[in-house]
Structure 1
Amino acid sequence: MPFSRRLILAMPALIAAPALAQPADPRLGERGIGRPDAPVKVMEFFSLTCTHCASFHKDTLPQVKRDLVETGAIRLIWVDFPLDQLALAAACIARTLPAERYEGFIGALLANQDRWAFTRGDPREELAKMAALAGLSRAKYDEVLADDGLKRAIIEQRMTAEKQYNVSATPSFAFQGRATRNQSGNMSYDRFQQLVEEARRG
């Protein structure tokens, strides 16, 4: 979905605050699936509260994983691009979980947006329940949501993506092989595969 700068403008003090999360913070490491030496790397810029991102993960990602990731054709890398404060909170929680639980957790959040992101109740309380199912204690959950350094680091990654990859909507994708192809918005598997081939051939 198209984004605005509301998230960034709403937190000027956070952006200007002294760094708390260091570059070596393992929570900020790459999260992805597929062979590191795959001929094409695909970066997906996504927001956990984006319904179009949820549709991609439901309708297209399963075939991408089966036909492209598991065959060694691509490595898929997830890049946090939160569109709002709730998505930022969810991204922080996902990043705090052990790396091997990241994919399952974001998949659960995207598949169950109505349960936490669009609930009639308190979204953060529902997010806490989802985090608990993933093994995160309530004390740790509260600690993560108070970590301004991690929040700012994720926002800075988003701002870098805006500049470097001209991201203007979520989901957006950067296909990197012999050539680079960028695409915004949800897409079918056929279109995804076409862009992979274009990036591979150069």
Structure 2
Amino acid sequence: MTGKFFIGAAALALGAAVPGASVQGWLNTVVETDGGHRMGDPDADVQLIEFVSYTCPHCASFEKASEGILKLGYIHEGRIGVEIKHLIRDKADLVAALTTRCGPPEKFFGNHTAMMIAQDQWFAKGRAASPAQRTRWGSGTRAQQYQAMASDLGFYDLMATRGYDATELDACLADTVEADAIRDRSTRDADAYGITGTPSFVVNGATLEGVHSWPTLNARLYELAYD
């Protein structure tokens, strides 16, 4: 891997323009897929699937490390299409997934990044939750449980910074049909690709063994997209 790419990628991560490319490139091409969301050129030679969990600290670390370079160094220029799929581990993970998927598909990636970047903050709220709060998370209807957890973890405040009001998020968290579909698709996709942990990655249909961090994945992507 050449130093030229890392110099260019670092500049991109800091917000430098891509010579000869439009301001947004392929970053505005976002669609909802069967079980996930994809950003980028659907016909790019390299198609990456990220399996992530919102309650996985390694997934948050991956998002923080990869977000700038992956979007601006790969997706922007049409070299890679990236799809994010959920691997649901627990109720908090499901509530977070319902939250990030709220609204039109084009808002998902921003919601996803915001949720991952704020993970430390909402983890802290979860650890500090009172017995009464934890009781609310398992009492009443499923919609009430999800809304209570989202409120106590700070998801309503987080999504307000993304332009959502409480009524809009209430409706998304009350969608138990979507909640069941997210769980079902998570199980189906994990079985189909042999995914047992997060983050895990699939490139052009093949699950990458032993690749669970941005530096290792970046090396693979660079070989495929630039060599």
TM-score of the aligned structures, taking structure 1 as reference length: 0.75
Distance 2:55 2:85 in 1: 14
- In structure 1, what is the equivalent of residue 203 of structure 2? 175
SS in 2 for 1:129: helix
* 1:152-193 per-position Cα deviation (integer Å, ceiling 9, x unaligned): 10001111122101111111110017xx2424663133x224
Distance 2:41 2:160 in 1: 30
1:35 and 2:49 aligned: no
SS in 1 for 2:101: helix
Which among 178, 186, 193 is matched to residue 212 of structure 2?
186
Shift of 1:105: 1.2
- In structure 1, what is the equivalent of residue 52 of structure 2? 46
Distance 1:37 1:107 in 2: 24
Which among 85, 88, 93 is matched to residue 87 of structure 1?
93
Distance 1:44 1:80 in 2: 8
Q: Cα 1:184–1:165, aligned 2, differ >3 Å: closer, same or farther?
A: farther
Unaligned segments of structure 1, at least 5 residues: 1-25
SS in 1 for 2:77: coil
**Higher RCO structure, 1 or 2 (CA under 8 Å, sep 6+):** 1
Q: Which has the larger radius of gyration?
A: 2
Which among 171, 174, 191 is matched to residue 146 of structure 1?
174
Q: Cα 1:183–1:137, aligned 2, differ >3 Å: closer, same or farther?
A: farther
- In structure 2, what is the equivalent of residue 128 of structure 1? 156
Distance 2:191 2:224 in 1: 21
* 1:83-142 per-position Cα deviation (integer Å, ceiling 9, x unaligned): 211111111121122222211111111011122233124652111211222222222322
Q: Cα 1:184–1:77, aligned 2, differ >3 Å: closer, same or farther?
A: farther
Shift of 1:82: 2.1
Give the partner amino acid of 1:188.
W
Shift of 1:42: 0.4
Which among 79, 87, 107 is matched to residue 101 of structure 1?
107
How many residues align? The count is: 173
Q: Cα 1:181–1:141, aligned 2, differ >3 Å: closer, same or farther?
A: closer
Q: Cα 1:153–1:31, aligned 2, differ >3 Å: closer, same or farther?
A: same
Q: State the Cα RMSD in Å.
A: 2.5
Q: Is the 8 A contact 1:34 1:74 kept in 2?
A: yes
Which among 173, 177, 189 is matched to residue 161 of structure 1?
189
Distance 1:171 1:49 in 2: 11
TM-score of the aligned structures, taking structure 2 as reference length: 0.67
- Structure 1 range deviating more: 118-127 or 30-39: 118-127
Q: Percent sequence identity over matched residues?
A: 27
Which among 195, 198, 202 is matched to residue 220 of structure 2?
195
Shift of 1:27: 9.0
